Structure 1
């Protein structure tokens, strides 16, 4: 067991040293050749790869899928647009990306609920009204539905 751990640490050290050596070589090549060092490390540097980035996948990208959903007549999308009518599509997409970036499903749902609440419910009088618990439940259900729809769309 000790020999096995030693072997593992020796392998990690060897891998690390190889990475350092490769990084030093890259640095030396950049110092020696300047920007032309890119030709040593990249194929087709002068090609149109940047202009054609993503053309080979015919499926819409992440942002396009979310935008299409938000612009659709889906019941959840309509509720979200109504709830966030003062926000631009870019702000909504940014907020949804943040919600989706949360590690656990529970965190995503609560982030979505907080995003849907915005400043209106937190600082407004609706939190103090008698319907605030109903609003909270409705918002949580909408947040759950929204995260489920986005998970389906982006899968």
Structure 2
């Protein structure tokens, strides 16, 4: 396989400009001619080029040009080459490559830090800024991965350690309060005539504290809610619908279960009061 175009002209007087120009021209040809652009670069087009062709060379040509400029201490052309492939370097899969390239340029310039020209000092400053940006992008990706893993962990830990555990503990307190008559509880059920909507809601209160909970089902799905108020201040609120990504079947079942338990506890205490009445 042979390239018709020399990406690197070995003439010392012209190598820098032509290297960058050829690298940019290669990318332009790719965009202009599509897959046919390889005819411009491969002589034995009917040979085994397909098996040997590197389909990931979008950055390779720029990196080769960049390394060439660094070897020849042409740092202005080196950073210009990175500027030319800036769009590729902004892709998440190339963040690490961006860090490696700018770190390489910074390292080379810092080796001669005392003897840097004014132009090279400016290049060093730009390279450091780009390096810091690339590092920050990698940190963002890593943080997103970490957050995703923590979210998965939260979904599989024991109920006592997450929201459903908190909800169960609260409803247990309310249930015990209803049994001991320190909490009052009222419940209502509604079903429409077409059997397309039904709901069950409850309200428990003890002094200024009010707990409201409910579930509903309709043709579009269903939902549930749990609100805690202290006087006029809302303390906690859970309000989920089936179309929400945070909807939890377990939370729905929990509220449905406690609506039944609380209503049963209310009638149990009324029965005790009834038994205490004189004959």
Give TM class, smaller chain: under 0.3
Where relative contact order (Cα < 8 A, 6+ residues apart) is larger, the structure is: 1
- Between Structure 1 and Structure 2, the one with more helix by share is 1
Q: TM-score with structure 1 length normalisation?
A: 0.27
User: TM (normalized to structure 2)?
Assistant: 0.17
